[in-house]
Amino acid sequence: GPDKKSWKTAMSSFPTSSWTWGEFYHTGEDDDETEDESNESETRSSSKDSLIFVIDCSESMFEKREDDSPYTLCLRCAKNVLSNKIISSDRDLVGIVFFATEKEKNPTGFKNVFVLHELDSPDAKRILELEDLAEGDVHAKFQVKFGHSKEFSLYDVLWTCGTMFANSSQRVGHKRIMLFTDNDDPHPGNLALQRQAKAKAKDLYENGVEIDLLHLNSPHGTFDPNLFYQYIIMMSEDDDPGILSNPSDKFDELLTRVRLKDHKKRSLMNIPFNLGPDLELGIRVFALVRSTKKGVAAKLDPRSNEEVKSRTKNICEDTGTLLMPTDIKRCYTYGGEKILFEKHEVDSMKRVIEPGLKLLGFKPKSFMKRYYHVKPAHFIYPDETVIQGSSKLFVTLLKRTLARDVIAVCVFVPRTVSSPRFVALVPQAEQFDARGVQICAPGFHLLYLPFADELRKLSYSHMEKASTDQIDKALEVVKKLKFKFSSEAFENPGLQQHYSNLEALALERDAPDEIVDLTEPDVDQMEKRAGNVLKEFSDLVYPHGYETVSVGRKRAGPSGASSEAKKAAPSQGDTQLVVATVQEHAQSGKLSKLTVATLKEYLKAVGRKGTGKKNDLIESVKEHLGI
Amino acid sequence: SISKMARKGDVVIFLLDVGSSACSAPPGHATFLQNALKVINMIVQHRMFADSKDEIGLVLFGTRETDNRLADERGGYDHVTLAREVGPPTLDFLKMLQCEILPGNEEGDFIDALVVGMDHAQHYMKGKKLGDAKFLLFTDCGSPSSGDDLETIRASLESMNAQLQVIGPDISDEEIPNGASGPPPGKRKTQIQISGERILKRLASFVDGTFLSFTDAMETLAFFARRQAKQTSVFRGPLEVGSNLKINVWGYYRVKEQKTISFGKVSAVSQASAHPGSMRVKMERSYHLNDEDQTEVAKENLAQGFWYGKDLIPIASVDKEAMKFKALKCLKALGFTKENNVKPHQYLGEGVVAFVPDPDNRDAGIALSALIHALQEAGYVMIVKYSFRANAEPKIGVCTPHIKPNYECLLFTQLPFMEDLRLFTFASLDKKKLAANDDQVQAVDDLISGMDLTQAVRDEDGELGEGLKPKNTFNPVLQRLYQCIQHRALNPEDALPEVDPLIADCLKIPSALVAANEAAVEKVKAAFPLEKIEKKAKRDASAAAVWKDTGSVDLDNPVSMAKRVRADESLSMAGIARVQIREVGTVDPLGDFKALLGDQEVDLFDEAFSQMRKRVCQLIFDSLGDQYHGKAIECLKALREAAVRFREPAKFNDFSTELKDRLLAGRGSDFWEKIKEGISIIWGFSTWS
Tell me the pLDDT tens digit for each residue of A440-493. 999 999 999 999 888 888 888 888 899 999 999 999 999 999 999 999 889 999
Residue B567 pLDDT greater than 50, yes or no:
no
pLDDT score for A283: 94
| Burial profile B375-386: b = 16 or more Cβ within 10 angstroms, e = fewer | bbebebbbbbbb
Residue B354 contacts A, CB cutoff 8 Å? yes
Q: How would DSSP label each residue in B140-202? A: ---S----TTHHHHHHHHHHHT-EEEEEES-SS-SPPSSGGGSPPTT-PPPHHHHHHHHHHHH
Closest CB to B474 among A385, A452, A540? A452
Tell me the pLDDT tens digit for each residue of A364-382. 999 999 999 999 999 999 9
List Cα–Cα distances, B65 to B68, B101, B557, in angstroms.
10, 13, 76
pLDDT score for A241: 54
A304 contacts in B (CB within 8 Å)?
Answer: 289
Residue B229 pLDDT greater than 70, yes or no:
no
Tell me the pLDDT tens digit for each residue of A87-142. 877 788 999 999 999 999 998 889 999 999 999 988 888 988 999 999 989 999 99
Residue B361 pLDDT greater than 80, yes or no:
yes
CB pairs under 8 A between A and B: 799
Tell me the pLDDT tens digit for each residue of A484-515. 999 988 999 998 888 888 888 888 888 888 88
Distance from CA of B559 to the nearest CA of A (A): 8
Are the CB atoms for A212 and A261 separated by under 8 Å? yes
Residue A245 contacts B, CB cutoff 8 Å? no
Number of helices and strands in chain B (H, E)? 22, 21
- The SS3 of residue B272 is helix
Residue B509 contacts A, CB cutoff 8 Å? yes
Residue B245 pLDDT greater than 50, yes or no:
yes
Residue among B242, B337, B342, B343 nearest A482 (CA): B337
Least confident interval from A366-380, B223-237, B309-323, B643-657: B223-237
Are the CB atoms for B79 and B118 separated by under 8 Å? no
Q: Tell me what the mean pLDDT of segment A410-437 comes to.
A: 89
Are the CB atoms for A397 and B444 separated by under 8 Å? yes
Q: How many residues does chain B have?
A: 689
Residue B587 contacts A, CB cutoff 8 Å? no
Residue A547 contacts B, CB cutoff 8 Å? no
**Helix H or strand E encompassing B29:** none
Surface of B (230-249) touching A: CB under 8 A: 231-238, 240-248
Instruction: Write down the catalytic residue from A44, A76, A176, A257.
Output: A44
Residue B623 pLDDT greater than 50, yes or no:
yes
Are the CB atoms for A178 and A216 separated by under 8 Å? no
Distance from CA of A59 to the nearest CA of B (A): 32
Least confident interval from A558-567, B304-313, B421-430: A558-567
- Does residue A608 have an active-site annotation? no
Report CA Rg, chain A: 30
Q: How would DSSP label each residue in A290-310? A: ----PPPPEEEETTTTEEPEE
Distance from CA of A534 to the nearest CA of B (A): 7
- The SS3 of residue B451 is coil
Q: Taking CB atoms and an 8 Å limit, are A319 and B232 in contact across chains?
A: no
- The SS3 of residue B399 is strand
pLDDT score for A526: 93
- The SS3 of residue A265 is coil
Higher pLDDT, B235 or A257: B235
pLDDT score for B216: 64
Residue A608 pLDDT greater than 80, yes or no:
no
Nearest CA in chain A to B532: A387
Cα A240 from Cα A76, distance rounded (Å): 25
Surface of B (85-104) touching A: CB under 8 A: 89-94
Cα B140 from Cα B669, distance rounded (Å): 64
Nearest CA in chain A to B382: A478
Distance from CA of A187 to the nearest CA of B (A): 30
Q: Taking CB atoms and an 8 Å limit, are A171 and B91 in contact across chains?
A: no
Nearest CA in chain B to A494: B393
Measured at the CA of B687, the angle between CA B524 and CA A424, to 5 degrees, comes to 55
Are the CB atoms for B184 and B229 separated by under 8 Å? no
Tell me the pLDDT tens digit for each residue of A168-217. 777 677 889 999 999 989 999 899 999 999 999 999 988 889 898 888 88
Closest CB to A381 among B377, B426, B467? B426
Least confident interval from A158-167, B119-128, B466-475: B466-475
Nearest CA in chain A to B643: A16
Which residues partner with B381 through β-bridges? B337
Residue among B340, B329, B326 nearest B398 (CA): B340
A373 contacts in B (CB within 8 Å)?
Answer: 255, 344, 347, 349, 351-352, 413
Which of B18-22, B356-360, B544-548 has maximum average pLDDT? B356-360
Residue among B26, B30, B17 nearest B142 (CA): B17
Residue B340 contacts A, CB cutoff 8 Å? no
Q: Is A369 exposed, middle or buried (0-12, 13-18, 19+ CB in 10 A)?
A: middle
Residue A485 contacts B, CB cutoff 8 Å? yes
Alpha helix (H) residue ranges in A16-169: 21-28, 31-38, 70-88, 124-133, 138-145, 154-167
Q: What single-letter amino acid sits at A193?
A: L
Mean pLDDT, chain A, rounded, equals 81
Q: Is A553 exposed, middle or buried (0-12, 13-18, 19+ CB in 10 A)?
A: middle
B657 contacts in A (CB within 8 Å)?
Answer: 326
Nearest CA in chain A to B339: A485
pLDDT score for B602: 65
Q: Tell me what the mean pLDDT of segment B559-582 comes to.
A: 36
Are the CB atoms for B149 and B199 separated by under 8 Å? no
Tell me the pLDDT tens digit for each residue of B45-67. 877 887 778 899 999 999 988 99
- Residue A351 DSSP symbol: -
Which of A588-602, B281-295, B460-474 has maximum average pLDDT? B281-295
Q: What single-letter amino acid sits at B292?
A: E
Torsion angle of C-alpha atoms B680, B681, B687, B689, degrees rounded to 10: 130
Cα A202 from Cα A234, distance rounded (Å): 7
Q: Taking CB atoms and an 8 Å limit, are A441 and B426 in contact across chains?
A: yes
Q: Taking CB atoms and an 8 Å limit, are A361 and B436 in contact across chains?
A: no
pLDDT score for A45: 38
pLDDT score for A429: 95
Cα A505 from Cα A483, distance rounded (Å): 38
Residue among B229, B57, B217, B226 nearest B130 (CA): B57
Residue B632 contacts A, CB cutoff 8 Å? no
Are the CB atoms for B687 and B556 separated by under 8 Å? no
Are the CB atoms for B353 and B252 separated by under 8 Å? yes
Q: Is A541 exposed, middle or buried (0-12, 13-18, 19+ CB in 10 A)?
A: buried
Residue A13 pLDDT greater than 50, yes or no:
no
- Residue B8 DSSP symbol: P
B519 contacts in A (CB within 8 Å)?
Answer: none
Surface of B (479-508) touching A: CB under 8 A: 480-481, 484-486, 488-489, 492, 496, 499, 503-504, 507-508
Distance from CA of A123 to the nearest CA of B (A): 5
User: Phi, psi (5° rounding) for residue B484?
Assistant: -70, -40
Are the CB atoms for A177 and A211 separated by under 8 Å? yes
Residue B318 contacts A, CB cutoff 8 Å? no
Are the CB atoms for A506 and A124 separated by under 8 Å? yes
Residue A101 contacts B, CB cutoff 8 Å? no
Cα B356 from Cα A436, distance rounded (Å): 44
Q: How many CB atoms lie within 10 A of CB A555?
A: 9
Strands in B491-620 per DSSP E: 531-532
Q: What single-letter amino acid sits at B461?
A: D
Residue among B586, B443, B463, B575 nearest B521 (CA): B443
Tell me the pLDDT tens digit for each residue of A29-83. 333 333 333 334 333 334 678 999 999 999 999 988 777 889 999 999 999 888 8
Q: Taking CB atoms and an 8 Å limit, are B531 and A388 in contact across chains?
A: yes
Residue A178 contacts B, CB cutoff 8 Å? no
Closest CB to B311 among A7, A123, A554? A123
Q: Which CB contacts under 8 angstroms, 24+ apart, belong to A217-226?
A: A217/A65, A217/A182, A217/A247, A217/A248, A217/A249, A218/A60, A218/A182, A218/A183, A218/A184, A219/A60, A219/A63, A219/A65, A219/A182, A220/A60, A222/A247, A223/A182, A223/A184, A223/A247, A224/A184, A225/A184
pLDDT score for A469: 94
Assign B356 a pLDDT band (cuts: 50, 70, 90). Answer: very high
Cα A83 from Cα A429, distance rounded (Å): 32
Crossing angle for the helix pair A614-625 and A596-605, nearest 10 degrees?
A: 40
- The SS3 of residue A322 is strand
Closest CB to A171 among B279, B335, B551? B551
Closest CB to B468 among A329, A360, A551? A360
Distance from CA of B7 to the nearest CA of A (A): 8
Residue B290 contacts A, CB cutoff 8 Å? yes
Cα A142 from Cα A139, distance rounded (Å): 5
Residue among B601, B619, B597, B603 nearest B663 (CA): B619
A10 contacts in B (CB within 8 Å)?
Answer: 683-684
Are the CB atoms for B651 and B605 separated by under 8 Å? no
Least confident interval from A80-84, A217-221, B527-531: A217-221
- Euclidean distance between the first and final Cα of chain A, in Å? 25
Residue B562 contacts A, CB cutoff 8 Å? no
How far is Cα of residue B283 from the mean position of the Cα atoms in its chain?
27
Residue A569 contacts B, CB cutoff 8 Å? no
Question: Which phi-psi region, left, alpha or beta, contains residue A515 (left: φ > 0; alpha: ψ -120 to 50)?
Answer: beta
Instruction: Given the cut 0.90, state whether the ipTM is greater than it.
Output: no
Cα A480 from Cα B87, distance rounded (Å): 61
Least confident interval from A604-608, B106-110, B210-214: B210-214
Residue B558 pLDDT greater than 90, yes or no:
no
Q: Taking CB atoms and an 8 Å limit, are B266 and A340 in contact across chains?
A: yes
- Residue B101 DSSP symbol: -
Surface of B (242-281) touching A: CB under 8 A: 242-248, 250-271, 273, 275-281
Q: Taking CB atoms and an 8 Å limit, are A334 and B679 in contact across chains?
A: no
